[in-house]
Amino acid sequence: MINHKHECKFLPKETCISYEELKKHSTYSDAWIAINGLVYDITDFIPKHPFGDTFRGNLGTDCSGFFSSAHVRTNVENLMENEHFLQKNDIKLVGKLDVTQDYLCKDNDNKYLDRIVYQKLCNDEFWLELKAKVHEYLIENDESTHYSAHEGIFYLLYYSSIFVLLSYLTWINSSILSATLLGFHMVCVSAGMSHMVAHFGFTRNKLLNFVALYLMDLGGYSCLEWQISHQTHHNQPHSSIDYQTNQYAPIRIHKYVKHGKYHKYQYIYFWIGILFYHFRVFPMGTIWLIKNREFVRYKYEVIAHIFAKLVFLSLVAYCGYISSIWNALILLTIYSISYSFFAFILLYNDHEETHNVLAVNENINLYHKKFSWAETQVRTSGNWHPTNWILSFIEFHYGYFNYHIEHHLFPSFKPSLLKKISPIVKGVCDKYDIPYISTTFFEVHRSFQRHITKMGLP
C-alpha cells in the first residue's frame, strides 16, 4: 500500500484537492481519479491501459475500492506509488484528496459532497484478508476473472436467440405471453450480461463486449447512462442517501427522511409506481445522452444507442403494420410493464437489515474514515438463493446476479465466479463478525415490504 514517506518525494507540496474539484475532472479530455487519498491525472494513460478503457463511470471519483478489487491478481498499489511507473505511463500525481468538508446529508445543496469517506484500504484488515483468499482461490483453481471468447460467444448467442424467438412471437404472432416473457428476458440480459460488460466483467474481447453492452439499449435502457450513473450505487451503496429508486417513486427509506402523510401508503403505491419504470427510462435514456455529451468518448456509441432503439421501435411499428396500431400498443404496454415489474422483482434483493448502516445518521461526519469500504459493501447488500428448479434457472438466466454481496465486492468478476467465491466471502465475514445476509428469494421481498411499510409510519 501507499507509503506516505515515499509519496512525498514526488507529491506537489501542500496541494490539496477537494472532492468538489475532483468531480469537475470527469471527462475523457480531463480525467482525474483518486486512489487511497491521492489524486491522479490519467487523461493520457487511458489509451495505454492494458485492458482497454475500464474507467468510464469512475472518472472524477474516489475509486479506491473499485481499483483494488479490479486488480486482485496484481499488487498494482505498489505501482501507483512508483514515480518511474507514473512517468512512464503519463500518469500525473495532482495532489492529496481533501475530505475535511465532505459529509453525507440529504439537505446539502452541494451534490458533490453527499458521500461516505472510507478508511484507507491498507488499514482494512477484512478487505486485505478477503482479497488474499480470493486471489488464492483463483490461482489454485486456475480460474479467470473473465469469460473466454468462446464462453462470451455462447452467452451472446444464448441470450440473442431467445430474444429473436420471443420478439417473433410477440410482434409477429401477437402473443401476450411472449410479450411478458420478453420483458423478463431483457431484464436478465441487461443485468446478467450488459451490466457486467459495463463493469468490465464479461470478456476481454472488445467486439463481443460492444455487442453485449448495447443489448441493454435494445431492451429500452441506455448502457452509457447506466455505466456512468450506476457507479454511484457502488461507491455509495444503495442504503445510502443516494438511493436510486427515489427518483421514480417518493418513498421513505430512512428514518431521517421527512415523513409525509402519503408515506403511510407507500407499501401500495411503490409497487404501482414502478410498473411505469420502463415507460420513463426509454425516452429519458436518450435525453440523458444528449444532455451529457461530454461523457461520450466516440460518436459511434451514440449511433449504436440510437440504432438499438430504432430496432426496437421498428419491431413495434411492424407489429402495428401487419396487425393494428392498437394491438402493437397493447403489446408494448405489456412488455414495458413486464420489464418494469421484473426489473424490481429481481433487482430489489434488499433485506431490511441492509438499510441499518446509514439508517439513522443524517450527518455522518463523525464516522469519516471509520467505515470500511468492503464491510460497507457487505452490510448494505444481500443475497438470495434458489429453493426450487425454477429459481435455479432464474439464477442462471439472471447471470448469478443474486450474489449481490460478491458483486459489490468484486464488480468486475464474471457472473459465474460470484457463486463460486461466495463460501470464501461468507467465511471471512464470519471471522470478522460481519453479517452475511443470504435468504430465500421470497423472504427478501417480504423483508423489504416490511421495511417500507415500517418507514411509512410516522
Residues of the chain scoring pLDDT < 50: 1-9, 239-248
What pLDDT score was predicted for residue 12?
54
What pLDDT score was predicted for residue 256?
66
What pLDDT score was predicted for residue 269?
87
Query: What residue ranges do the domains of the chain occupy?
Result: 16-123, 146-457
CATH tag, 16-123: 3.10.120.10
Q: What is the pTM of this model?
A: 0.89
What pLDDT score was predicted for residue 37?
86
What pLDDT score was predicted for residue 388?
95
What pLDDT score was predicted for residue 428?
97
Q: Is 157 exposed, middle or buried (0-12, 13-18, 19+ CB in 10 A)?
A: exposed
